[in-house]
Homo-oligomer: A and B are copies of this chain.
Amino acid sequence: MKKVKEIYRTVSTKPTIVSRNVHIKEIVEMLLEDPITRSVYVVDDGRIVGIITVLHLLKVSGYRFFGIFPKPENVLKDLEVITAKTAEEIMMKPLWVTPETPISDALKIMIDNDVQELPVVDETGRIIGDLSSLEVLNALWRE
């Protein structure tokens, strides 16, 4: 089976990395500069400590600007996220793949976490790239 290293540079080439204290406004700015991006990686001392997805940002924004709550079955899961006030609080637990991760494992992580883009880390935990859902779909359906 194909591994992450064979596909992760075909669509998305540059991971979007921020530090813990960055403001949501800056994150939105970075997403607009590189609109292929759907996940931002929070890094501390060179290591990944969290992920912020566009779906998360939509929920935070809905609550902050309009008091919109997610649908009932998601409230428990989402409450912590939508009431967060700092960028660090918004992030989800870190997720990642390595160049040696089989595509099936990467896909399962995406499906289980509703994440469309994952950081690729080396053996020391440093982010060396990112894996887009489009790269996975391409590897599966077009080859």
Contacts and interface: CB of A to CB of B under 8 A. Distances in A.
Interface in A58-72: 58-59, 61-62, 65-66, 68, 70-71
A55 interface: yes
Contact of A114 (B12, B25, B114): B114
Chain A interface, DSSP helix/strand/loop, else mixed: helix
A136 B25 contact: no
A92 interface: no
Given A35-B134, A54-B116, A114-B55, A107 B61 contact: yes
Interface residues of A, number: 40
A116 to B, nearest CB: 6
A134 B68 contact: no
